[in-house]
Amino acid sequence: MVARFKKNKKRGSWKNIFFSIFLGIALILVISFLFYTNWKINQRRSQLTANIATLKEEIQILEQKNQELKEKMSEVGSEEHLEKVARDQLAMKAPGEEVVVVKKEEEKKEEVQKVQEEKKTWWEIIKSIWSR
């Protein structure tokens, strides 16, 4: 009886072959999809890691600037700072002091050139413009 059963069973029916091929293709598609999504996730992870590193650097820079600003804030209220600002920026002086202003060499040369140009005749001014 067992022998008959084997004889009646068809070897490789088209339904079994179709199902095997379909199952194989589906398995390949699922594995391909998983590899693709894993690759995309790793790519995104590396991008986010790089962003984290740049943001950490920015945080360190901002913390240093914050510390410098805190130090300057403590200096602003002092009388020494107010006196320095008054002398440097507002050209103020303390009672009994004399203020001396020293001009830079370039400023002196520019003033001398302006004076010389004022003394030139119009013809000399045109010549100097054309000779440049």
Q: What is the pLDDT of residue 103?
A: 63
Residue 89 tokens, joined: 């920026």
Q: What is the pLDDT of residue 60?
A: 97
- Between 10 and 91, name the one with better pLDDT: 91
Q: With respect to residue 131, please indicate whether it lies within any of the assigned structural domains.
A: no
Q: With respect to residue 33, please indicate whether it lies within any of the assigned structural domains.
A: yes
Q: What is the length of the chain?
A: 132
Q: What is the pLDDT of residue 1?
A: 46
The total number of structural domains that make up the chain: 1
Span 34-91, pLDDT tens digits = 999 999 999 999 999 999 999 999 999 999 999 999 988 877 777 787 788 777 777 7
Q: With respect to residue 25, please indicate whether it lies within any of the assigned structural domains.
A: yes
Residue 90 tokens, joined: 């507002």
Q: With respect to residue 59, please indicate whether it lies within any of the assigned structural domains.
A: yes
Q: With respect to residue 1, please indicate whether it lies within any of the assigned structural domains.
A: no
Q: pTM of this prediction?
A: 0.43
Q: With respect to residue 39, please indicate whether it lies within any of the assigned structural domains.
A: yes
Can you list the alpha helix ranges (DSSP code H) found in 1-132? 2-8, 14-76, 79-88, 105-119, 122-131
- Between 131 and 57, name the one with better pLDDT: 57
> Where in the sequence is the domain holding 92, given as residue range(s)?
16-119
